[in-house]
Amino acid sequence: MTNEELQQIQAIMQTTLTTAITPITNRLDTLEQSQKNLEQGQRQITTRLNSLEQGQQQLTKQITAVESRLETKITAVETKVETSEKNILTKLDQLEKLTADYLDGEVQKTKRRVDRIEKHLNLTP
């Protein structure tokens, strides 16, 4: 084989290789770009997930704080209700005593009047 024939064979092989390798190279480039896109998407998802987790932690803290304030207010209301109940019961007791005293006084007045009327009428019991 002559040098010229070897060069022609080399040129044919180069053309054939280039023709065969170009689609593979293009496909590889596409795959590499797709991988980069996927990695970028994964980073974005990870960032968003971290952001959501932080938001969830903040909400959990806020809920805990609100629950604590609610419990405090509920306890305060319960205490006020208990105090009010005691005051109402005390006032009811006082009212019952006053009512009993008043009725006793009225009974006594009525007895005295009856006694006077009987004395006046000379009735003896």
DSSP secondary structure letters along 46-96:
HHHHHHHHHHHHHHHHHHHHHHHHHHHHHHHHHHHHHHHHHHHHHHHHHHH
Name the pTM for this structure. 0.53
pLDDT tens-digit profile of 52-76?
Answer: 999 999 999 999 999 999 999 999 9
Greater model confidence, 2 or 42: 42
Q: Is residue 74 part of a domain?
A: yes
- The span from the CA of 39 to the CA of 30, in Å, is 14
pLDDT above 70: residue 124: no
Query: Residues with Cβ < 8 Å from 29, sequence gap 6 or more?
Result: none
pLDDT of residue 85 exceeding 90: yes
Confidence of residue 33 (pLDDT cuts 50, 70, 90): very high
- Domain of residue 31, residue span: 1-92
Task: Classify residue 19: in a domain, yes or no.
Answer: yes
Give residue 58's identity as a one-letter amino acid code. Answer: Q
31 within a domain of the structure (yes/no): yes
- Per the prediction, the chain carries an average pLDDT of 92
